[in-house]
Amino acid sequence: MKNEKTYDFTDPYQIAQYIKDAQKTTPTKLYISGDFTESDLKGYEYYGPCHSCVIFAESDSALAFIEQNTDRLTSYRLEYDRRNSAIPLLDTTALQARIEPGTFIREGVLIGKGCVVMMGAVVNIGACIGEDTMLDMGCVIGARVQVGKRCHIGAGAVLAGVLEPPSKQPVQIGDDVMIGANAVVIEGVQVGAGAVIAAGAVVLKDVEPNSVVAGNPAKVIKMKDEKTLSKTELLDDLRKGF
């Protein structure tokens, strides 16, 4: 989103102001077939021959076109996937990271060099993902969550975001943390560097560095040892080549 004003996406009040200021949009694709010429489509962004093309337009404009040309349309189809959306997806073209299909990363997110974001992962506004961290399939990184370097966030895991109440602190994950599949870390929790959170754990309070927690609610079951290290090894090759 092009906007001259600069916002601090770590601040919930600034995020709220950004959303308020944003021009809300309902982009549509209008597929048309009918008796149309180039002059009929002047001012519209369209692709294909005039008698059978796709028009890209805001919903009001697309609906107006349909209403004004009912008698000339042989057929049409209107598609859209959002309504009055305020936050676009992040432009990932310049990222030195691997972003797989089907991810949803919103503007205002910071993605570090060497990160891997797998299919279905969702990263909300204000989140910061450290270098060489992997976000596995279907995990959810909520608004303002801070994730350190060289972490692994397992498939289906949830790091709870927080915009309101604004007094709540976001989740903070230290470096070299391993979070298992379907684990949940609630807002305000800080997870120390090197910690391991077992699959399915529900973490309600801070986790000490290099500790291993499991259960619901999660409790410390041991400190990391050689066996733990072998079971939580990360593969550098997954984070290279880009």
Choose the weakest-confidence range: 77-91, 178-192, 226-240: 226-240
Dihedrals phi, psi of 187, to nearest 5 degrees:
-60, 145
Per-residue pLDDT, 224: 84
The residue written with tokens 């961290």 in the block is 133
- Per the structure block, which two tokens stand in for 38? 């180039």
> Each residue of 144-197: pLDDT tens digit?
999 999 999 999 999 999 988 888 899 999 999 999 999 999 999 999 999 999
pLDDT at 54 over 90: yes
177, 206 contact by CB (below 8 A): no
Q: Which amino acid is at 195?
A: A
> Each residue of 16-36: pLDDT tens digit?
999 999 999 999 999 999 999
CATH 2.160.10.10 fits 98-239, yes or no: yes
> Each residue of 60-77: pLDDT tens digit?
999 999 999 999 999 999
The CATH number of the structural domain formed by 27-79 is: 3.30.70.250
Domain ranges of the chain: 27-79, 98-239
209, 174 contact by CB (below 8 A): yes
